[in-house]
A and B are shown apart, each in its own frame.
Chain A
Amino acid sequence: MSKSKKFTQLMAVVVLILGFAVSSAFSAETLKIATLTDMSGPYAELAGWGNINAAKMAIEDFGGKVLGMDIEYVYRDHQCKPDLANQKAIELYEKEKVDVIFDCPNSASGLAVNNQALRYKKIFIAITSGTTRYTGDLCNRYTFHWAYNDYVLATSAGMWAADNLGKKWYTITADYAWGHDLLKHFSAALQKRGGTLLGNEMVPLGASDFSPFIIKAMNAKPEVLALLNAGKDTVNSTKQAVEFGLRKQTKIVHALLFPEDIKAAGPEVFADNYVTASWDWKVDQPGSKEFVAKWMKKFGRPPNWFNAGNYSCVTQYLLAVKRAGSKDPQAVVKALEGHRFSDFFASPGYIRPEDHMRVGKAYILRAKKPSEIKEAWDYFQIVGEVPMEQAYMNSKDTGCKMGDF
């Protein structure tokens, strides 16, 4: 290679490096927000663009600025892979220099981000994933948990169903950390209300054939069958339970069930099943109908409660920044801790300082029969409410040792 060619190449490299240095100097005083979500994996329909749009809308409605700073927004796809989530969190905190990461579906991924938040000393607010470890053994001063957790899903549905559907239960559980967690809380809730767990089946994740477990469950003749799984497993297990005629004698309660799941499988599959939700688009809370109307106008369909949770969370974060008077993570954390508020999503809502869980009431939903569905996405009816003190675990029992910064 000629000498001049080599020199040119070297200069090109130098210019490149200088360019990066200069550009990063210009990104000084803005508030940078990021959503890390699943855009191409199994949660793409539930989270994905819905949650990104929720964050964008929240920023827009806030005015696009806070404390005189412009709000910049980025998003990344972690495809529901924990190692990728970890890498993206590093990219967002270090390269993109974001001040906060929102969302992160899939608990294993969220826990990885949780760890990076602690390493980079920046805020992470988990919304779509439900593990109680965020507010339990892996809690830290920079991580918050919004919208819900596994305990709420299990306990609310457990208590309500034990009171209203029957005391003799059987459970089919997805055999991994999340499923085990749910089972523990469901059994506890059931016991508290004087019910009995006749038996449990642990089913490997992603199993396509649930028939042996359903047969065993039917043999025990329970009044309620709890399906402690999500996504594809929920669809498969429910489809096959209906196939075997289980629903003729037994009511079904789900850990997680979304309008998207019902649409994907067909409403007749889930008719008359029950589930907990932190919110639903039919809920009659102040601000709820307006939010739904605005969302429908923009996106042509109502938001699910993950989307709503993201909107609420981003807005509350921005309000906390305002209250703190700075975007410094430690100041914002302090402004969030102990804050009581009321918005369309959580009415009332409270961010517990002991474990950083946002608590609020929980709703019990019943999936409608096809004949009851009057309009698109009208899949659920709200049948009950559980107040926040009962829905969420007592902060003394979470096992969280909230340390220092």
Chain B
Amino acid sequence: MNIQFVIMQLFNGLILGSIYVILSLGLTIIFGMLGIINFAHGAFYMFGAFVAYTIIAYLIPNFWVALVMGPIVMALLGAACEAFILRRLYNLPPLYVMLFTFGLMLVLQDFIRMVYGAAGVPFRTPSLLDGAINLGFMFYPKYRIFLIIITSFCSLGVWLFLSKTKLGAIIRAGTDNSIMVDALGINISRIFTFVFGMGIGLAGLAGVLAAPLQNVSHLMGVDFLVDCFVVVVIGGMGSISGSIVGGLIVGEIIAIGVMVWPPMAHTLIYIFMAAFLLIRPRGLFGREAFHE
């Protein structure tokens, strides 16, 4: 194992981490603001990939169009979900909401299986990003470099939105104390809808971005779901910067694990998380425990 391979692998960790970041951002803002543990998050990620596939295969055969439209469609879907269904569950204990999202996950997955089959659908990298760049010692796929760039922009965008805009401030305030925000006369339920839609839109974006790299099938979100929770917990529930840093850390841990002992790579993140929580119970940037 030479130094070039190590650098390459650390770079790979960033790629994997980037997908985790986008996915976890969605999960954490939904949890932070709405207190919902969204079990269907992985299914929405998968759904986003399929929406993009459908756009490309049946409407406009252009990856870039799908990249923009896919997350928008998902955000609208998420907003509709929240406005018409989830809203009724807010006075229930959180565990019931969790059960609901679990049922939703089953429905989304099986729906896709019924329509598109169990084997999956083809998804190519866009021709602009086909092929690899010569980095001197190694060829590295252009698409992966694009991935890092775009996820960085998106993360920055989300962070800027939440910290610099008025709406962002309202959302952050609502995360802290939704009753107070409501009392101040702001239509908190509309904010909720917006936030949930945004969270799902981010999940869909992660799905579209990951699609060219993976087998796009109805089960593609299942493994990511648990990993997402690990990221969010390490970063701190409800924390944006936590998701970003946590996602990259988890990606790197897996990458390092693969270099050291591949079979252990995935389990390593659980060990890391457990150890981390024992030292720092709220994660990196998390606030006081939510469900107590």
Contact = CB atoms under 8 A, between A and B. Distances in A.
B141 interface: yes
B217 interface: yes
Contacts of A201: 262
Contacts of B113: 40, 44
Contact of B120 (A41, A244, A264): A264
Contact of B5 (A209, A215, A243, A268): A215
Contacts of A19: none
Given A243-B143, A244-B141, A212 B255 contact: yes
Given A215-B8, A245-B139, A232 B262 contact: no
B139 A244 contact: yes
B292 interface: no
A293 interface: no
Nearest to A48: B118
Interface stretch (A135-143, A233-241, A278-286): A233-241
A181 interface: no
A260 interface: yes
Interface of B: 5, 8-9, 12, 15-16, 110, 113, 117-122, 124-125, 131-132, 138-139, 141, 143-144, 210, 212-215, 217, 219, 223-224, 254-255, 258-259, 262-263, 265-266
B118 A235 contact: no
Interface of A: 40-46, 48, 175, 201-204, 206-209, 211-213, 215-216, 219, 232, 235-236, 239-240, 243-245, 260-261, 263-266, 268-269
Contact of A235 (B110, B120, B224, B259): B120
Nearest to A248: B139
Nearest to B217: A232
B12 A265 contact: no
Nearest to B120: A264
Query: Interface of chain B, helix or strand or loop or mixed?
Result: helix
B120 A232 contact: yes
* Residue with the highest number of chain B CB atoms closer than 10 Å, among A41, A212, A260, A263: A212
Given A212-B255, A264-B119, A232 B215 contact: yes
Contacts of B138: 215
B122 A269 contact: yes
B119 A45 contact: yes
B215 A260 contact: no
Contacts, number: 101
A240 B213 contact: yes
A212 B12 contact: yes
Residue with the highest number of chain A CB atoms closer than 10 Å, among B122, B215, B258, B262: B215
Tell which of B118, B124, B213 has the most Cβ of chain A within 10 Å.
B118
Given A201-B262, A243-B125, A243-B143, A216 B117 contact: no
22 contacts: A40-B110, A40-B118, A42-B118, A42-B219, A43-B118, A45-B119, A201-B262, A207-B265, A208-B210, A209-B12, A209-B213, A211-B12, A212-B5, A236-B213, A236-B215, A239-B215, A245-B132, A261-B119, A263-B122, A264-B215, A265-B215, A268-B124
Contact of A212 (B118, B217, B258): B258
Nearest to A269: B122
Given A175-B262, A232-B217, A209 B122 contact: no
Given A265-B215, A266-B124, A204 B266 contact: yes
Contacts of B265: 204, 207
A215 B215 CA distance: 19
Contact of A204 (B5, B124, B144, B262): B262
Contacts of A243: 125, 132, 141, 143, 213
B262 A203 contact: yes
Given A263-B119, A266-B122, A269-B122, A206 B223 contact: yes
Contact of B213 (A41, A175, A239, A266): A239
A207 B138 CA distance: 23
**Nearest 3 CB-CB pairings of A with B:** A266-B122, A264-B119, A235-B215
Contacts of B210: 208
Given A40-B113, A264-B120, A269-B122, 7 more contacts: A42-B219, A44-B118, A204-B266, A208-B214, A211-B144, A213-B258, A244-B132
